[in-house]
Chain A
Amino acid sequence: MRNEVFTLRSNREIAKNTFEMTLSGDTSGIAPGQFVNIRLDGFYLRRPISVCDYSEGSLTLIYKVVGHGTEYMSSLTQGARLDLLTGLGNGYDTAPSGERPLLIGGGAGVPPMYALAKALISEGKMPTVILGFNSAGEVFYEDEFKALISDTYVTTADGSYGIRGFVTDAMDRVRYTYFYTCGPEPMLRAVYGKSVTSGQFSFEERMGCGFGACMGCTCRTKYGNKRVCKDGPVLTKEEIVW
């Protein structure tokens, strides 16, 4: 964990209620699948947001406006200075991915797949990605993923774009050695049921601190209690208790 001040460079709506925020600051120690915890003026608790992309000195976050805190975030403009805790959570482990890992992101679970895809590609792996949304108006980052991965599938629940149905409907089309997923819990359960290999799941929970101190986000696993913020948010398929 690090405590760093970042400067907002851009903040734009890229799909319905979905914003992309780019920030400049010290990104050392950030890894794919981790999150940052942002302090916002007028809000007591920080807001945990998953890391979408990062490079030296630059951080990209994608967040959905779901309440007052994220609504306030969407109003921030260039030059705003933000107090972030970075390097939070365990992140994805790329070691067990095999040659052809499958990345499955749903809605607000799409962003962490981006930094992960880059990391896997840099290791010489050939990932496939499935991005799931409710409808055409919510689709984002299709082009960005396609620029990295030609095997990019988009599904929409209402069929208004891409493959009609859920991410699991696209999973039939893919042969994969391992998988990584992030999204709403019903989707994670469906992926768990459909998957034919081992894999890693990223979970979400209401958090107090985000760095393992308050025990506010504990979940049960086959290997004992884990704090989603510190021991997670990524759990392996083998340890999950639904």
Chain B
Amino acid sequence: MVNTQVTLSGLTLDNPVIPASGTFGYGYEFAEIYDINCLGSFSFKGTTREPRFGNPPPRIAETASGMLNAVGLQNPGIDKVIGEELPKLRRVFHKPVVANISGFSVEEYAECCGRIDREEGVGIIEVNISCPNVHCGGMSFGTSPESAAEVTRAVKAVTTKPVYMKLSPNVTDIAAIARACEDAGADGISLINTLMGMRIDLKRRAPVIKNTTGGLSGPAVFPVALRMVWQVYNAVKIPIIGMGGVTTADDVIEMMLAGATAVEVGAANLVDPLASKKIVEELPHVMERLNIENLTDIIGGAHNG
């Protein structure tokens, strides 16, 4: 019998598989087709203080081995998330969730994180300082060590649950930003958010996405994500949730060998709604094949090789 359990800042998960924010809504669409309690956890749709429509359509474009999105943090706002979505979510998912919070000012991050911290069923707060699709706030907080640290400090001051800062890959030195978050008190690091990209429609001679640019995800970004998890593992001591193009249980193992304690699955959920479930089911078989008894033993394992 293999052991798939992992522990993030004192929170033990049955397995390291966590559907990523923005690809799993609040869980209900997936609960229609499988029991999502097989998952380690899941990260719900990024939530802001005010309700947001997001960006005008088209918001989606296909790429080689991936996709671009410029949804722009569409969400019903924290009041409705706490009042309506979380009670509904608790009916279909009985484990602690990862609460993904975004904002447009340090105060907004602190206010929303402070409120979500008090909610039953929230296991980890994942602070998104890396959304590439909003025009102020979002990614701008995640592109300098100083502002990343400022958000971290503000959130840590008003929360009791583990705080994971979700970082952008659209930076020159991801390790410096991760270190700044750790020094400011972050309990962990989530990475990577999407990479900024674009596509042009040849017939219209105009960007496919109305927002011009979007965030690239899917298998195309996996090697970049893996490299950044590797670099951050070398830079910090706090746990890492690795993500970016993860599609198979092999990818999960690879992310963990690079230094991730848990792994989020994003775009794969959108093309195959059963993707996360399949990864959970595949994982013990892959572990047996690779002679892994305890999954925690392999975290960062490639750094010794």
Contacts and interface: CB of A to CB of B under 8 A. Distances in A.
What are the 5 tightest A-B residue pairs by CB atom distance, in nearest-first order?
Answer: A209-B270, A216-B60, A206-B58, A215-B74, A208-B60
Interface of A: 1-3, 39, 43-46, 69, 85, 205-209, 211-220, 225, 230
A230 B29 contact: yes
| Residue from B53, B60, B66, B69 with most neighbouring chain A CB atoms (10 Å) | B60
Chain A contact residues, majority secondary structure: loop
A216 B25 CA distance: 11
B1 interface: no
Nearest to B274: A3
Contacts of B32: 1
B54 to A, nearest CB: 6
B71 A214 contact: yes
A209 B59 contact: no
B166 interface: no
Given A44-B66, A206-B58, A211 B273 contact: yes
Contacts of A208: 59-60, 67, 69, 270
Contacts of A214: 22-23, 60, 69, 71, 270
Chain B contact residues, majority secondary structure: loop
Contacts of A85: 273
Contacts of A225: 53, 74
Given A1-B32, A45-B62, A213-B30, A206 B23 contact: no
A207 B29 contact: no
29 contacts: A1-B33, A44-B62, A44-B63, A44-B218, A44-B219, A45-B271, A46-B271, A205-B57, A206-B57, A208-B59, A208-B60, A208-B67, A208-B69, A209-B269, A209-B271, A211-B29, A211-B273, A212-B25, A213-B23, A213-B25, A214-B22, A214-B71, A215-B45, A216-B57, A217-B59, A218-B71, A220-B53, A225-B53, A230-B29
B234 interface: no
A218 B54 contact: yes
A18 to B, nearest CB: 18
Contacts of A69: 62
Nearest to B70: A216
A44 B64 CA distance: 7
Interface in B208-230: 208, 218-219
A216 B71 contact: yes
B109 interface: no
Contacts of B269: 209, 213
B64 to A, nearest CB: 8
Contacts of A43: 62
